[in-house]
Structure 1
Amino acid sequence: MKYEEIKINQVYEAERKITSQMVESFAEITGDKNPVHLDEEFASHTLFKKRIVHGMLSLSIVSSILGMEFPGPGTIYIKQEVKFLKPIYIGEKITVRITVKDKIEEKSRLILITQIIKEDGSLGIDGEALVLFKS
């Protein structure tokens, strides 16, 4: 994709299913072994009632889509603001929605709305990213 082809209000969506293996690998890589993510018994006694996905793992999926799919290879994250609104559960299918909010032509930058929609249609994560994209 070329920078010139990207339009304001353009939307890109991708679906993913977050597995237990992804959560366990993320915990191992980062060292975040909070039992709310890894221990079903522990998690059953929390307000979530079952294991939840690391918020940053969910956001990492957004990063992978930005860098590999839309806008695509060469995308450089500059800034990300994020609100974690609802937990994402292990085994849940999510939709990552990227919406082009604005373009900063002279710097080849994009302001993107970054959202994760849960399987039930509710918004799990809402954010805004600034990326550099030179095609």
Structure 2
Amino acid sequence: MTTGYTFEQLEVGLSASRGRTVTEADVVAFAGMSGDYNPMHVDEEFASSTRFQGRIGHGMFTASLLSAVLGMDLPGPGAIYVHQTLHFKAPVRIGDTVTARVVVRELKTHKHMVVFDTTCLVRGAPVLTGEAVMMVPPRETAPAV
């Protein structure tokens, strides 16, 4: 089991990333889970007639890849999401490999909060940018002797 970082183990510039290729099954499953059956995601005929000229993945699915990095890698298990901003820059299509990356930008010692720059890339180009704030547990103090 991954234990995650304590607040004291983090430093500005520390980063982590994960990649995932978006599949047809991902889009269908996310539509079912979220209830978002927008034809931009699920209807090729409709989506082909739009400016995107075909289906695109759900933006929130792309954003959820950041949650995987933050929840499992950096800072990892035990940390709690407090805030996230998202700026969608370009569509993600079925077959695209998305790399979700987080970088520690700021440590707020008095609250054990960490600010991360968040980015999702496809072929090296940003498709999503933003900022996440996480509450990260401090190192447990030694019991009094």
Q: Distance in 2 between matches of 1:5 and 1:67?
A: 16
1:49 is aligned to 2:53: yes
Report the aligned-residue RMSD. Answer: 1.1
Once the two structures are superposed, the pairs formed by residues 96-135 of structure 1 within 5 Å of their partners are 96-119=100-123, 121-134=124-137
Aligned length: 134
CA contact (8 A) 2:17 2:69 kept: no
1:5-43 CA-to-partner distances (Å, cap 9, x unmatched) read: 211011212111111111111111111000110111111
Q: Distance in 2 between matches of 1:8 and 1:125?
A: 21
Q: TM-score, normalised by structure 1?
A: 0.94
Q: Distance in 2 between matches of 1:97 and 1:15?
A: 9
Q: TM-score, normalised by structure 2?
A: 0.88
Once the two structures are superposed, the pairs formed by residues 1-135 of structure 1 within 5 Å of their partners are 1-119=5-123, 121-134=124-137
The structure with the largest alpha-carbon Rg is 2
Shift of the alpha carbon at 1:2?
Answer: 2.4
Partner amino acid, structure 2, of 1:34: N
The 4+ residue runs of structure 1 with deviation greater than 3 A are: none
| Percent of paired sites with the same residue | 37
CA contact (8 A) 2:69 2:101 kept: no
